Amino acid sequence: MFYRENGQFKSTYASDQQMLPILQDRAFMLGLLAFAFVVVPFLASDYLFLSILIPFLILTLAAIGLNLLVGYCGQISIGHAAFMAVGAYAAYNLVLRVPQLNFLVVLVLAGLIAAAVGILFGIPSLRIKGLYLAVATLAAQFFSDWLFARVKWFTNYAHSGSVQTAPLEMLGWKIDSPAEKYVFLLAVLVVFTLIAKNLVRSHIGRAWMAMRDMDVAAEVIGIRPVYAKLTAFAVSSFYCGVAGALWGFVHLGAWEPLAFSLTQSLNLLFMIIIGGMGSLLGSYFGAAFIVVLPILLNQMPGILGVPISTAMISHLEFMIFGALIVFFLIVEPHGLARLWAIGKEKLRLWPFPH
Amino acid sequence: MNRKVKFALLAVSAAIAAIGSAPALAQAKKADAQAKEQFFPVLSYRTGVYAPNGVPFANGYVDYLKLVNARDGGINGVKITYEECEFNYATDRGVECYERLKGKGPTGATAFHTLSTGVTFAVTDKTFADKIPIITAGYGRADSADGTVFGWNFPLGGTYWTSSDMLIQHVGKLEGGLDKLKGKKIALVYHDSPYGKEPIALLQERAKNHGYDLLLLPVTHPGVEQKATWLQIRQQRPDYVFLWGWGVMNSTAIKEAVATGYPREKMYGVWWSGAEPDVTPAGDGAKGYNALVFLAPSGQGLVHKDILKHLHDKGQGTGKKEEVGEVLYNRGMTAAMMTVEAVKRAQIKYGKKPLRGEEVRWGLENLAIDNALIKKLGFEGFMRPVSTSCVDHEGGSSSSIHTWDGKRWVVQPGIYEPDMTFIKPMIRASAEKYAAEKKLTRRDCAKEAG
């Protein structure tokens, strides 16, 4: 009842091919965007922006990047924080050495550099697959950890290996208040989500998915594995590179190689597994789950007014978080995005389920 | 299927409601707390690999705050309130805690002790906008002693440049003069993080002058795997080993030294590598190991009597009674004391009311903790004078060496003072670079005073 597409006829190819073919979806999406862009900046507190929304937006971008590779092309990577690191340090060096560049240009260049590195580390995927590839991508992680901790040039010979950035400014807009940062990140994320959505609907995306579902069959119908796999690595690393640059410049402001450690890589992987592999929406859900839930659990006793020692809260946080991950994976192995889809389906039939 | 959806919807809506109400609750709290309360944020790490060191520090810090309330009724009648935030020694969670606590209390956070060098680096950036001082007593960035660039950082009592300087002076004295260091080999076994890397710049600078070889041996977090490091020490046989470790890395290093047969007498830890949790796991093998001691050696003084009387005897203490007086407990306590003193100092200027971070900064910049005050507070023997200014946020640093005799830390005679002729220009250059990267303009201290 709530969600029926009855009466919505598609009379042109364009209307058949649009991104959100159902009217309710379009209205909902527009409403959500309007809410996120116009209402949230006035409602949210600094804490909500800085500790929840900003990390959520950036990690969503990274999760989309990883999802393109793992969820759409079927190549497992457990070293994607490395590409975030490449993006962050590339952006840092670009800003430092070519200060006249606009930050958006820096962002794209940082993404391209990360893409180049991604292609390099994607080459093993042409020969190995599955778990073996996962282990090979670990090399990217360890290599970047080593590179940015040891080669002083990348950190501009900082004493302690930690780098810091100036506040962002572009075209006379100084992005320093939390709300401005949020709006900027949201705009970037929307643009990149649109690009990703269109990529996966295009021939490249279909090639990736064919590769994921059965590589031999894909090759037989004329998809070049080299091209499909390496483009997936390139696009995915591009996204992560951009996310890394934003993580460094907008979220942290000062960082050390540890900010892009293996833990971060695993977190990204958890995001897409919990959110839903092969679903852009899933990247959003997964990032929200991983970013918000631990903080929420940590604050729960305080909000409810239950006095528990901080150490105990922290232990409880880990236990409940772990239990919830297991719970969600058992209830819905296809991730939160699948739950969402089921929900939509139910709304469509309600109140007359079969 | 249906139940699943219902559950998910319920969970999501509960989560949204909870997030939504959190700021509202904070607001409500703010409104009724126009009372005379000074809010102290407490970042702590009672869990994770560094917990053995984090727990006593947090206990000492919180105990002192409680003591001021219980014994003196607050700071000149202004009650201290505090909230702990567990951050697991992780930088991102530390920053989250900072954001969470900075606005609490009627006037916002007094001052933050950031505790990890990583968090210090990340938060330093935010202090300029938030106007909240961060105190890094004996850690943090060495160049933040320059108050004209780092307007809100206070590395009270010492930095890693002054500490490594004093260690070099000590081994120079053992050799019979700094010039005798020529041709000697000193190994720095360090935690591979900003914390461990901080002293390198000074040790290299000193090496240029004295002609010793510096061997840099990084150990990756958390530091339980050091076989390769100590293999190198076995091969290279350095004359001295400086240990810049934290948590489990320290005890592992001492155990590895025992296994390698490297004499513990030649090992010198920084002040964060010389507490009870660092040596006790190594058992008898730790005997003879040395470390710097700055603000607080172990033991109990008058202030501990007060803490035991007012808190622990009434069952109000934090942590175990037997741990009162451990090195890190005392350090947490002195850290709290300096913050409280800064508030007291600022109250003289701004009045006996809850103060904002900006006002507390004035107190921190005009801190004058001399021997008389130390005695009055019951800290005799646990604290050295600290006197800061707008330009100098460190306030002087002096230190001695203490040695583990198998049961206790024994403080050795002799007090070292850093040689500022080396350190001053380095601070200046490094702060200059920071200001350039951040596009900051220096504060004019002469103008602010006038």
As a whole number of angstroms, the distance between CA B108 and CA B39 comes to: 7
Residue B25: pLDDT over 50: no
Question: Residue B140: helix, strand or coil by DSSP?
Answer: coil
Please report, rounded to a whole number, the percentage of residues in chain A having pLDDT higher than 70. 99
| CATH code, residues A45-349 | 1.10.3470
pLDDT band at B60 (very low <50, low <70, confident <90, very high): very high
Q: Which pLDDT band holds residue A129 (cuts at 50, 70, 90)?
A: confident
Query: Which residues in chain A are closer than 8 Å to B430, comparing Cβ atoms?
Result: 159
**B2 Cβ contact partners less than 8 Å away, ≥ 6 residues apart:** A346, A353
pLDDT of residue B427: 92
Cβ atoms of residues B79 and B353 within 8 Å: no
For A165-206, what is each residue's pLDDT tens digit?
888 877 778 888 899 999 999 999 999 999 999 999 999 999
Q: What is the pLDDT of residue B1?
A: 40
> In chain B, which residues have their Cβ closer than 8 Å to the Cβ of A162?
118, 121, 194
> DSSP of B144-182, one letter per residue?
GGBTTTSTTEE-TT--HHHHHHHHHHHHHHHHTSGGGGT
Any B CB within 8 A of A311 CB? yes
Query: pLDDT value at position B6?
Result: 53
- CATH code linked to domain B161-297+401-423: 3.40.50.2300
For the cut 70, the answer to whether the pLDDT of residue B15 exceeds it is no
- pLDDT at position B309, please? 92
pLDDT of residue B26: 46
CA A257 to chain centre: 19
Q: pLDDT for A274-306, tens place per residue?
A: 999 999 999 999 999 999 988 888 888 888 887
DSSP-assigned states of every residue in B25-80:
HHHHHHHHT-SSEEEEEEEE--SSTTHHHHHHHHHHHHHHHHHHHHHHSSBTTBEE
Residues 333-392 of B with CB under 8 A from A: none
The verdict on a CB contact (< 8 Å) between A311 and B126 is no
ipTM over 0.90: no
Residues 245-264, chain A: which have Cβ within 8 Å of B?
252-256, 258-259
Residue B242 pLDDT more than 60? yes
**pLDDT at position B232, please?**
93
B277 has a pLDDT exceeding 60: yes
* Chain B residues with beta carbon closer than 8 angstroms to that of A292: 15, 19
pLDDT band at A2 (very low <50, low <70, confident <90, very high): low
Phi, psi of B37 (to 5 degrees): -135, 140
pLDDT at position B10:
53
B142 vs A contacts (CB less than 8 Å): 159
pLDDT tens-digit profile of A133-161? 998 899 999 999 999 988 889 988 887 78
**Per-residue pLDDT for B14 more than 80?**
no
Residue B210 to residues B16, B181, B355, Cα–Cα distance (Å): 62, 6, 48
Mean pLDDT (whole number) for B95-106: 90
Q: What is the mean pLDDT of residues B117-136?
A: 88
- Terminal-residue alpha carbon distance, chain B: 73
Question: Each residue of A230-280: pLDDT tens digit?
Answer: 999 999 999 999 999 999 999 988 888 888 989 899 999 999 999 999 999
Q: Which residue has the tokens 């409280």?
A: B340
Report the percentage of chain B scoring pLDDT > 90: 51
CA dist B2 and B4 (Å) reads: 5
Is residue B305's pLDDT more than 60?
Answer: yes
Distance CA B272, CA B417 (A): 18
Task: State yes or no: pLDDT of B33 exceeds 50.
Answer: no
Give me the amino acid identity at B155: P
Are the Cβ atoms of B122 and A254 closer than 8 angstroms? yes
DSSP string, B410-443: EEPS--B---HHHHHHHHHHHHHHHHHHHT----
Residue B34 pLDDT exceeds 70 = no
The domain segmentation of chain B, as residue ranges, is: 26-159+300-396+428-449, 161-297+401-423
- Closest Cβ–Cβ partner in B88, B95, B194 for A256: B194
- Indicate the range of A53-57, A331-335, B258-262 predicted with least confidence: A331-335
Q: Closest-CA residue in chain A for B318?
A: A309
3-state helix, strand, coil in chain A (%, to 5): 75, 5, 20
Architecture in CATH of B26-159+300-396+428-449: 3-Layer(aba) Sandwich (3.40)
Q: A166 touching B, CB under 8 A? A: yes
Residues in B closer than 8 angstroms to A160, CB to CB, are 117, 121, 141, 194-195, 197-198
Q: Which residues of chain B make contact with A336, given a CB cutoff of 8 A?
A: 8
Query: Cβ of A180 under 8 Å from any chain B Cβ?
Result: no
User: Where is pLDDT greater, at A159 or B442?
Assistant: B442
**A160 to chain B nearest CA, in Å?**
4
Q: Report the mean per-residue pLDDT for chain A.
A: 90
**B58 near B112, Cβ under 8 Å?**
no
pLDDT of B214 > 50? The answer is yes
For tokens 């690009």, what's the residue? A195
The percentage of residues in chain B with a pLDDT greater than 70, rounded to a whole number, is: 92
Pairing, β B185-191 against β B213-219 = parallel
Q: Which residues sit opposite B187 in a β-bridge?
A: B215, B241
Residue A314 near chain B (CB below 8 Å): yes
Cβ pairs bridging A and B (under 8 Å): 124
Per-residue model confidence (pLDDT) at position A288: 94
Nearest chain A residue (CA) to B205: A159
* The two domains B26-159+300-396+428-449 and B161-297+401-423 share their CATH topology (first three levels equal): yes
Mean pLDDT of B101-113: 91
Pairing of strands B37-44, B79-86: parallel
**Chain B residues closer than 8 Å to A255 by CB:** 91, 121-122
- Interface contact B84-A310, CB threshold 8 A: yes
